[in-house]
Every structure is written in structure tokens, then in C-alpha cells.
Chain A
Amino acid sequence: DGGITQSPKYLFRKEGQNVTLSCEQNLNHDAMYWYRQDPGQGLRLIYYSQIVNDFQKGDIAEGYSVSREKKESFPLTVTSAQKNPTAFYLCASSGTGPLYGYTFGSGTRLTVV
């Protein structure tokens, strides 16, 4: 079945360590997105990519980095520069644009201790 896979579901890291969250899709979608979800804050856009080897910053890109070397993959690295990294991270993709809706992964809950 086609879909988006985020792994791992739960991730624990020590403060000061970089961590990479995986996002893979087999929907042949061109665009991929990373959102951060915090209680009472809704979803905030971190980075997005419309095509391979290209990506744009969202509203809260500071402390994060991404790459898009393959159409299927859009990993997110949470760096030690991110002041408050503990959150629920959601990856999404869309085919011909947001008009036709996003397909979301099931998310990764990152806890930094």
C-alpha cells in the first residue's frame, strides 16, 4: 500500500545531540513537508520541498536542517541549536499541490532530556 512512513515513532535524545527523523513515501509525490505540533500551537511549518534537491524554509526553520536527495525521502535533522526540540513531528506529502490534500505520516514524538 502507498503511504508515508515516519520512523521511529518515539525517539529520546540527550540535550546537545543532533538527531535525524526519517520520512519516506512511496506515493510518487513531488512535494514533501515537515511540521511541528505542540499542545495548543497547532501545526507549524518547518521546511518543505517541491522537487528533489530543492527545499524552502518554513516559519520555524531555525535549529533544523533537511535534505532532499531522493524523491521518496525527506529526512529532518534536529540540531543542538534548536532551543526546545521536544515535540511531535509530522511529515506530509502532496502530489500536484496542496489543493488535492496532504498525506500525513503517523508522526515521531521526540523527547530531549
Chain B
Amino acid sequence: GNSVTQMEGPVTLSEEAFLTINCTYTATGYPSLFWYVQYPGEGLQLLLKATKADDKGSNKGFEATYRKETTSFHLEKGSVQVSDSAVYFCALWANQAGTALIFGKGTTLSVSS
């Protein structure tokens, strides 16, 4: 079946450090891939997405490239801020009508000043 695997956290960084959160997927066909972010006590918000191989999603300084050959969609940011502290979820959609998003287990990021 379809699934998403994320690196385990927590990830602890100092402000202005480089961030990478790894995400790999298993899917039949060609899924669409997403990163969502969850701030404490809130629901999730869509951060970025990519719908086909080699697409790069970007938003708020975050980027992720859809790599079909390595079935990966790693999240990166060049310089993190304290306000980026949150839980990040990688997700996939199998591009099949009537199906829902499948989420990874989430990775907690903590940024200190």
C-alpha cells in the first residue's frame, strides 16, 4: 500500500542554521506530495506541494523537490528562525478520486536563538 516515512525527531537547531527533514514514500503510480506544518495547539497548514517528478515546491523560504528516482521529497530551508519551530508532516495523495491524503508521523523542529 501507499505510505510515507519521515525522519524521526526532534530536530534541534540554532537560528540561521540549515534545515533538512527527510521524507520518502512508497506508492503505486505517480502520487502528489505535500508538506504540512502544525504550530502548537493548532491544526495543520499546507506549506508546499509538488504534483509531478522534478517539480519543486516552495513557500516561506522552504523548498522540496519531488525525486521519483529516489522516491523522496525532502524539506529544506537555508536559514531557520525561531518562528519555524513546529511539527512538519510529509503527505502523499495517490491521485485517485475518492481517496484521502496519507500522512507521515511528523517531525518536530525546535529552533533556539
Contacts and interface: CB of A to CB of B under 8 A. Distances in A.
The B contact surface, by secondary structure, is: loop
A43 B103 contact: yes
Contacts of A98: 32, 93, 99-101
A5 to B, nearest CB: 11
Contacts of A35: 103
B103 A58 contact: no
B98 A106 contact: no
Given A42-B89, A99-B93, A58 B43 contact: no
Given A41-B105, A42-B105, A99 B32 contact: yes
Given A42-B105, A92-B43, A99 B97 contact: no
B105 A105 contact: no
A104 B44 contact: yes
Contact of A56 (B44, B45, B98): B98
Interface of B: 32, 34, 36, 41-46, 49, 51, 89, 93, 95, 97-106
A41 to B, nearest CB: 6
Given A92-B43, A101-B34, A106-B43, A43 B89 contact: yes
In order of increasing CB-CB distance, the 3 nearest A-B pairs are A104-B43, A42-B105, A101-B46
B104 A106 contact: no
